Structure 1
């Protein structure tokens, strides 16, 4: 039996999935790696930890699948983005990588946005907010606050690029990660030299990978050293992948206009397909050719979703009892008896991008229980998703239905609240690790098993069930949405007043 491998390099672990060409998962395994938080808003990981974890997970997945290694045709990766690695001449990491959720570059992001907006309309390399998570703000922070590290960095690239370099010996970028986080645009010349020049970052173009490949293109084959580390033959093809959430669109089977992929995990992303370029205030994109040729992707997102739920469960001592907590929360009414949460625990992403915003729990009373907090947190994430969908619709982007993949699919309560708040049918594929199967579909296309991604999706993705919204609960949530949406401006004004008072003193 021929098979392909999809690798999902996530925030907390790396997961390896082995698939048959009909989409059947033959075996999978995961291996964790640590994240370090040296200061508030900072988040770092070690690239050597990614590589060690990949070896552990690959061997375990091969054992679970019980297949001969020479049956593997190709592999591809979906990884966090924008997670920056700074490398020396030998491709070794000079320092810990800056994880995607690292927001130390909040002030630099504002300068990048201002510089971009000052460019001519046709050269803006996308409209919309600029996040502290992205490539240029992080690099600008490095150049100003760690100039020696910046100078010594021969290469500045992504998690994806570093892994592909270790696997094949080739340093290449991905059109996907470059388009969504580097201000790269295939329709207006690729590398944004004018924006780099405006930021005094002309030399960054020389530090980036000089070659950029589209998802699904073959990079090469495993080096003997990489093959030995993974327990695979050296002839296995390595196919270009991209950012985990966007490759998750492929795994969700979301590839036509009107469809939205809801990628759930530590964060939430709402990714919509558009036939044309759309620049929507408060959202990101659109990204030309970022996933599918000749199609654009519009992006919304929430920085804290699964990570916020996990934090809350740990805080109340219920992290080992999530099923029971879900069951208790399910008995509560929509709106959690007046309790509401703002889900900006790691800043606001969209439609209100504000890295300095913070979460809040409002409406607490002595009658509220742990289950109320848990349900209110889930409702906050779901109402945040509605804010993104409403922004898409308000600017003419059709939203017909959603398909969800990732961690939230393990909670029937979370699925139902997503359907009820949005008023949309919510599709759940049979394989819910979207980045894993999405990367496997890319691998299969690179191996020549399918002529294009549309054909790969048709062969490997199946919808297992659809969650229909409850009309009555949807109306209740429609009424609650205004309260949720008012939290950010109210708390932002309060925070601004406190800062002003502190400066006056």
Structure 2
């Protein structure tokens, strides 16, 4: 295929759509974005209008093409990813029956708890619990609390599937997200029909599009209407995407066993590729074939990371350091020695996702004396985040999934100091790609494979993704962080009972049971 051909990666994020135009060597010609709104009709709810997604997608793609200064006829393919477990319900005419339930919405916590308590074999890759974020608990919530809407809903899908539908006019489900979020297992018979029946969703798979496509597979040509709205040629091919973080693995060239994606931001995510069908308690997976055929993905996440540092900046840092307050407060923290001169913090500000799977945990800070300053506190908070990442890596290593390197992207990569902390604490090198928008780049990689430019996703990623730098761990600092890490773990063990007592005190009275449901991951009762 000519080097003058291009592909578009369309990233459907939480706050807006982002379109990236790249050539088949991975050179980015343009990136454009367009925002959309989230509404919160009740506490713990989060909704978006799919029509807003489409308007933003059209705006971002059209703008990116103009910025790239390429002809629409040069765009060979487009692939869209989406936020994970953002549920879309459509009627028989393919129109939404309700607003999309966003991934962060936790209204389905009671349903998730009941699902986890079944101990069904379908929970094999989530023995640690069922997340109320996932689509199946949300569908069950809809059936139980909004039966009239459930009855009108002919089809259920995720955000990436909806974008593919609007682009191509074809109904499909992405194998990627139904494997890591919908309990689908292509190696064990596909859909767990018996499990769905046990939880009250008998026959639900009839409302799932029957066409299941792997990441990077062709969906079909773009519709004339979508082509006109986006400024694309009608010959443009639409390619199947998936969950945003998993698609980012392609944009980080994490396509071989032993490689690990490290995705940072308000939260952190560790996604390790392995060739072993090995369960690790406290970690999601192993998810088979959901990115690269014949390989598995292990998933561990931290709920609050960059969000904790942002909170500190907004509450304290911005009032102390003037206009360049974020950089100034980070420089002050960098001057504090490892261990923050006796301060220890826990990063559980919105609970712990992995490896403890406990949303009744809270953030903590101890060891304060009159010698400590705000810079000491920030240093302790930064260290708590890197220890949380190390905790995930240690948990996997203890069960035979060792991580020897990571490829990072996201907000933390903008701070060389903090990235060095991560590398030193983990004891592994962290590479950073040239293109920081790894998710949109991953979608572009999938598009290039889908249109036939490369024989496989790994081949496409190897050709299109280049590393900018590698941050090597310092052995001396790693040893000091290892000592402090033991204080982190011991602090968790010591404070866990008190945190659970505090959580029970903070829960509402029996007269308001709905408000007492805690968000996030619901622990399995006896699995």
Identify if the C-alpha distance between structure 1 residues 500 and 24 changes in structure 2 by more than 3 Å, giving closer, same or farther. closer
Higher mean C-alpha deviation, range 295-304 or range 145-154: 145-154
Provide the C-alpha distance between the structure 1 equivalents of 2:370 and 2:196, rounded to a whole number of angstroms.
Answer: 54
Distance 1:94 1:414, change over 3 A: farther
Please say if residues 107 and 132 of structure 2, whose CA atoms lie closer than 8 Å, have aligned partners that are also in contact: yes
Q: Secondary structure at the match of 2:241?
A: strand
Q: Do the aligned residues in 2 keep the contact of 1:258 with 1:273 (CA within 8 Å)? A: yes
Alpha-carbon distance in 2 for matches of 1:184, 1:343: 32
Residue 405 (structure 2) aligned to one of 392, 401, 406: 401
Matched with 2:238 is 238
Counterpart residue number, 2:448 = 444
Moved more, 346-355 or 330-339: 330-339
Displacement, 1:57?
Answer: 1.6
TM-score normalised according to structure 2 size: 0.89
| Distance apart, 1:68 and its partner CA | 1.3
Aligned to 2:219: 219
- Residue 307 of structure 2 aligns with which residue? 307
Match of 2:99 in 1: 96
Q: 2:335 aligns with which of 331, 334, 338?
A: 331
Once the two structures are superposed, what CA deviation does each residue of 1:277-315 show, in whole Å capped at 9, x if it has no partner?
Answer: 111111011111110011111111112223333344333
Question: Does the C-alpha gap of structure 1 residues 289 and 41 become closer, same or farther in structure 2, counting only changes over 3 Å?
Answer: same
Query: Pairwise mapping of residues 330-349 of structure 1 onto structure 2 (< 5 A)?
Result: 330-349=334-353
Structure 1 322/32 Cα, relative in aligned 2: closer, same or farther at 3 Å? farther
Q: Which residue of 2 aligns with 1:82?
A: 85
CA drift at 1:372: 4.1
- In 1, Cα distance between the equivalents of 2:255 and 2:43? 38
**8 Å CA contact retained: 1:128, 1:279:** no
> 2: CA distance between counterparts of 1:229 and 1:337?
58
Shift of 1:488: 4.3
SS of the residue corresponding to residue 241 of structure 1 reads coil
CA change 1:443–1:496 in 2 (3 A) is same
Number of residue pairs matched by the alignment: 501
Structure 2 vs 1, CA of residues 191 and 476 (structure 1 numbering), >3 Å: closer, same or farther?
same
* 1:132 equivalent in alignment to 2:132: yes
Once the two structures are TM-superposed, the CA of residue 490 in structure 1 deviates from its matched residue by 4.3
1:428 alignment counterpart = 432
Q: Deviations over 1:154-173 (max 9, x none)?
A: 22211111111111111211
Partner residue in 1 for 2:525: none
Q: How does 1:27-42 map to 2 (within 5 A)?
A: 27-42=30-45
Query: Using the alignment, how far apart are the partners of 1:235 and 1:33 within structure 2?
Result: 28
Q: Look up the SS of the partner of 2:446 in the other structure.
A: helix
CA distance in 1, matches of 2:111, 2:149: 17
Which residue matches 1:262?
A: 262
By how many angstroms is 1:428 displaced?
A: 0.9
TM-score, normalization by structure 1? 0.92
CA displacement, residues 329-375 of structure 1 (integer Å, 9 cap, x when unaligned): 22222233444443333332111213444434444566555544444
- Check 1:95–1:357 CA distance in 2 against 1; reply closer, same or farther (3 A cut): farther
Comparing 141-150 and 194-203, the one that deviates more: 141-150
Distance 1:267 1:501, change over 3 A: closer
**Deviates further, 57-66 or 451-460:** 57-66
Whole-Å Cα distance in 1 between the matches of residues 411 and 380 of structure 2?
18
Q: Is there any run of 5+ residues in structure 1 with no aligned partner, and where?
A: none
Which residue matches 1:412? 416
| Paired residues of 1:106 and 1:355 also in contact (CA < 8 A) | no
Residue 4 of structure 1: CA displacement? 0.6
Alpha carbons of structure 1 residues 315 and 200: separation in structure 2 relative to 1, 3 Å: same
* Structure 1 residue 263, shift from structure 2 partner: 1.3
Query: Following superposition of structure 1 onto structure 2, how do residues 138-177 of structure 1 map, counting pairs within 5 Å?
Result: 138-177=138-177
Q: CA RMSD in A?
A: 2.4
| Matched ranges for 1:42-57 at <5 A | 42-57=45-60
Q: Do the aligned residues in 1 keep the contact of 2:360 with 2:500 (CA within 8 Å)?
A: no
Q: Deviations over 1:148-207 (max 9, x none)?
A: 333332222111111111111112111100000001011011111121011011132122
Once residues 360 and 495 of structure 1 are traced to their aligned partners in structure 2, the CA distance between those partners, rounded to angstroms, is 10
1:246·1:291 contact (CA, 8 Å) conserved in 2? Answer: yes
1:371-408 deviations in whole A, cap 9, x for unaligned?
44444333222211111100110001131111112222
Structure 2 counterpart of 1:72, from 71, 75, 83: 75
**Map of 1:273 onto structure 2:** 273
Quote the Cα distance in structure 2 between the aligned partners of 1:337 and 1:148. 60
Aligned to 2:27: 24
Q: Name the residue aligned to 2:501.
A: 497
Question: Larger deviation: 253-262 or 123-132?
Answer: 123-132
